[in-house]
Amino acid sequence: MTPILELKNISKAFGPVKVLTGVDFDLYAGEVHALMGENGAGKSTMIRIASGDHRADEGEIRLDGEPRRFAGPREAQAEGIAVVHQELLLFPALSVAENVFLGHQPKTAGGFVDWARMRREARELLDRLDCPNLDVDQRVSKLSVADRQRVEIARALSRNARVLIMDEPTAALAEADVRRLLEVIRRLRADGVGIVYVSHRMNEIFEIADRVTVLRDGRSIGTSKVADVTEGSLVSMMVGRDIHQLFPKVDIPRGETRLEVSGLSLAGVIEDISFDLHAGEILGIAGLVGSGRTELAQTIFGVTPATAGEIRVDGAPRRIASVRDAIAAGIAYVPEDRGLHGLVRPQPLRENVSMAILDRLTRYAVVDTGREQRLASEAIERFSIRARDARQRVGQLSGGNQQKVVLAKWLATDPKVLILDEPTRGIDIGAKTEIHRLMGELARKGLAILMISSELPEVLGMSDRILVMREGRLSAIVDRKDATPDSVGAAMMQTRREPAAAGGAR
């Protein structure tokens, strides 16, 4: 049996930087082949080459044993290779149906776009993906992240994909959505589709993949059957060293109350939330996408000022009507969307690190660049950020290093309360561990940490207590000792009404 897709001895360089060196990869029909590696290992480039987006410098691509060259994505798509991109390449202003069929709309006899058929077929595809509630006429800009991803998968399927490449499909999904996605993947596999599955999440790999290939520094470290490897061996293959503890949770005695939230509401989004947070504590927030986790964080942080309720920091009531108020109150927020909200990517590292404390760095309105430079150098050292120097543009750094810059930026404000929204999303194992270690260190120093995560193991592993949200309300607060996937999962799910206001869309 010949593989449907085969990459042989692929090399690729961008300018002087060698990204891939002699990589081999093959995929059989009806299998899920996981591709793993830290950020910067070359996974994305490989995907781009396989999907015709980039041309390899060396090596060849074979389809069903025949060598092929793709002039562009269109040719690859014509051969049945489709990609579900991590950044979800959709058209926000267009409808669901149209997003599914853009570029290959069904046509009438006269060559015109057949809207009726397009909507019908989109409906069928979405039903096949088990999402009957998704309206094919809805604009994509109004959909939640999970729904957007379904649209993207429907798009791939609409091209009768034989090879489906999924680039971190679960990075943005809540646990329940991950379940549904894995179900869909199983079904596709049964239909004979070959799936390249890129993910950082170990449990998914073990659950769904048949084989796994690990990349490191642009080279293939090896391909093995999933049954033959362990989590530990995979991690050491990826990182090149052993990592013993995935969640280095340290026990810190609870300090005094730092943050008290009572009756906090944002009309139509979150309702009547009360909790407190202590120095040295990590309070995890769990919940489905759309349950109001991020909205809660952004309300506390003043992005969307609360319509009712009270926030006290160190016992003093604070009126938080803007981000500036929140910063002044000692609250810091590391946002979910790094690229959009966390960083100004075209600007240098040092200007990003100083951005939240610009007021404090100015004298007579002039920015003290000397102090700024020192601040940046310290941050590079303290968080071991891999950057050329403080003048490098943050957009050029890897995801993990970007996240460290965001952390550095917020720790520079000397906060009392640190809110982390999906702090390790899209970050490789190495950087993830570092960030977890850092969280422990910060908590030990008396910081109160609020952590939102869609990864249940992370929430369970890192939190002292877990605040579970459902449909904009507080569902439960679970102590570490009582927290199990079942107890927290139950609090998250319960019965869910028909889709509430699409909370995921902003």
Partner 1 sequence: MTRILIRHEAILGILFAVALFVMAAQSDRFLTTANLLNQARLMTEVGLIAIPMTFVIVTGGIDLSVGSILGLCAILVGVFWQNAGLPLPAAIGLSLLAGTAAGFANGLIITRFRVPPLIATLATLALYRGLAEGISQARSVRGYPEWFAVLGRGEFLGIPTQLWLFALVALAGIFLLRFTAFGRTTYAIGNSEAAAEFSGLPVERTKLLIYTASGFVSALAAIVFVSRVSTTRSDMGNGIELEVITAVVLGGTSIFGGRGMVIGTLIGLCLMQILQNGLSLSGVRGDGTTVVIGAVLIVAVLISNILGRFSND
Partner 2 sequence: MSRRSFHAVSSLGQEILLVVVILALFAFVGAVNPRFVSENNLTSIFVGNAYIAVAAIGMSLVIVSGNIDVSIGALIGVLAVISGLLVTSGYPIWVAWLAPLLIGSAINALVGCLIAFARVPSIIATLAMLSILSGGLITFTGGRWISGLPAGYQLAQFRLLGVPSPVWFMVGMTIVAALLMRYTAFGRSVYAVGSNPEAARASGISPSSVVVRVFAIHGAIAGVAAVLFATQLQVIQSTTPVGLELVIITASVVGGVSILGGVGTVVGSTLAAILFAAIGSSLIFLNVSAYWLRAVQGVLILATVLADMARRRRTG
66, 137, 389, 414: which one contacts partner 2 (CB under 8 A)? 137
Instruction: Give the interface segment with partner 1, choosing from 27-35, 353-361, 454-462, 496-504 (CB under 8 A).
Output: 353-361
Q: Which is nearer to partner 2, 138 or 392 (CB)?
A: 138
Beta strands across the sheet bearing 194-198: 81-84, 163-167, 194-198, 32-36, 211-216, 219-225
Q: Return phi, psi of residue 338, to 5°.
A: -55, -50
Cα separation, 287 vs 317, in Å, equals: 27
69, 74, 324, 391: which one contacts partner 2 (CB under 8 A)? 74
Instruction: Give the interface segment with partner 2, choosing from 11-19, 66-74, 322-330, 467-475 (CB under 8 A).
Output: 66-74
Q: Where are the alpha helices (DSSP H) in 42-174?
A: 43-50, 73-78, 96-101, 115-128, 145-158
- Find the radius of gyration of the CA atoms of the chain: 24
Q: Return phi, psi of residue 29, to 5°.
A: -60, 140
Q: Which is nearer to partner 2, 80 or 309 (CB)?
A: 80
Q: Which is nearer to partner 1, 350 or 432 (CB)?
A: 350
Residue partners of 491: CB distance under 8 A and separation at least 6: 286, 468, 470, 475, 476, 478
Q: Which is nearer to partner 1, 9 or 322 (CB)?
A: 322
Q: How many residues bind partner 1 (CB under 8 A)?
A: 31
Q: Which is nearer to partner 1, 12 or 155 (CB)?
A: 12
The minimum distance between CB 364 and partner 1, in angstroms, equals: 9
The minimum distance between CB 369 and partner 1, in angstroms, equals: 8
Tell me how far CA of residue 25 lies from CA of 35, 111, 135, in angstroms. 9, 40, 38
Beta strands in 231-297 (DSSP E): 257-266, 270-278, 282-287
The minimum distance between CB 102 and partner 2, in angstroms, equals: 5
| Residues 236-275, interacting with partner 1 (CB under 8 A) | none
DSSP-derived pairing of the beta strands 32-36 and 194-198: parallel
The minimum distance between CB 89 and partner 2, in angstroms, equals: 3
Residue partners of 217: CB distance under 8 A and separation at least 6: 41, 42
Q: Which is nearer to partner 1, 313 or 468 (CB)?
A: 313
Q: Decide: 296 and 477 in contact? Cβ < 8 Å.
A: no
400 binds partner 1 (CB under 8 A): no
The minimum distance between CB 2 and partner 2, in angstroms, equals: 26
Q: Which is nearer to partner 1, 393 or 437 (CB)?
A: 393
Token pair, residue 36, equals 């793993």
321 binds partner 1 (CB under 8 A): no
Binding partner of 341, given partner 2, partner 1, none, CB within 5-8 angstroms per partner class = partner 1
102 binds partner 1 (CB under 8 A): no
If you search the block for the tokens 């489709």, which residue do you land on?
Answer: 82
Cα separation, 392 vs 24, in Å, equals: 33
344 binds partner 1 (CB under 8 A): yes
Residues that bind partner 1 (CB under 8 A): 15, 303, 322-324, 326-327, 333, 335, 340-348, 351, 355-356, 358-359, 361-362, 365-367, 391, 393, 409
Residues that bind partner 2 (CB under 8 A): 51, 53, 72-74, 77, 83, 85, 89-95, 98, 102-105, 107, 111-113, 115, 135, 137-139, 142, 155
